[in-house]
Amino acid sequence: MARTVKDIVDMKKNGKKISVLTSYDYALASLCDKAGVDILLVGDSAGMVVLGYENTLPVTMEQMEIFVGAVSRAKQNALIVGDLPFMSYQASITDAIANSGRLIKAGADTVKLEGGQTVADTVSAIVETGIPVMGHIGFQPQTTALSQGYKVQGRTADGAIRLIEDAKALEEAGAFSIALEMVSNEVAKIISETISIPTIGIGSGVHCDGQVLVVHDILGLYEKLKPKFVKQYLSLSDEVVKAVSNYKKDVEDGKFPAEENWFSMEEGEYEKLKEKI
The footprint of ligand KIV (CB under 6 A) covers 22, 43-45, 83, 136, 179, 181, 202, 212, 214
Catalytic residue among 172, 181, 193, 267: 181
Evaluate whether 61 touches 102 at the Cβ level (below 8 Å): yes
In the complex, the smallest distance separating the C-beta of residue 137 from ligand KIV, rounded to whole angstroms, is 11
CB of 99 to ligand KIV, least distance (A): 15
Smallest separation, CB 114 to ligand KIV (Å): 8
Q: How far is the CB of 249 from ligand KIV (least distance, A)?
A: 36
Least distance (Å) between residue 247 CB and ligand KIV = 31
98 Cβ partners below 8 Å, 6+ apart? none
Q: Which residue is nearest to ligand KIV (CB)?
A: 43
Nearer of residues 131 and 257 to ligand KIV, judged by Cβ: 131
Output 195 or 214, the one with its CB closest to ligand KIV.
214
The count of residues in the chain is 277
For residues 173 and 199, which CB has a smaller minimum distance to ligand KIV in the complex? 199
104 or 211, CB closer to ligand KIV?
211
Neighbours of 165 (CB within 10 A): 13
- Measured CA to CA, the distance from residue 78 to residue 29 in angstroms comes to 10
Q: Is 239 a catalytic residue?
A: no
23 or 173, CB closer to ligand KIV? 23
- Return the active site residues: 181
